[in-house]
Amino acid sequence: MLKQKASPESVLLQEKEQESIAQLAQILSRESAQSKLVTSNGEEILIPESVCNILRQAVQAMASDRAVSIVLHNRELTTQQAADILNVSRPFLVKLLDEGAIPYIKVGSHRRIRFKDLIIYKEHRDSKRRKLLDQLIEMTEEAGLYEE
- What are the pLDDT digits (tens) for 47-64? 888 888 888 888 888 888
Residue 80 CA to residue 109 CA, distance in Å, equals 15
Q: What is the pLDDT of residue 146?
A: 67
> With a cut of 70, which residues of the chain have pLDDT below it?
1-13, 31-33, 146-148
Domains of the chain as residue ranges with CATH: 2-63 (no CATH), 76-142 (1.10.1660)
| Helix (H) or strand (E) run with residue 130 in it | helix 115-142
pTM (2 d.p.) = 0.57
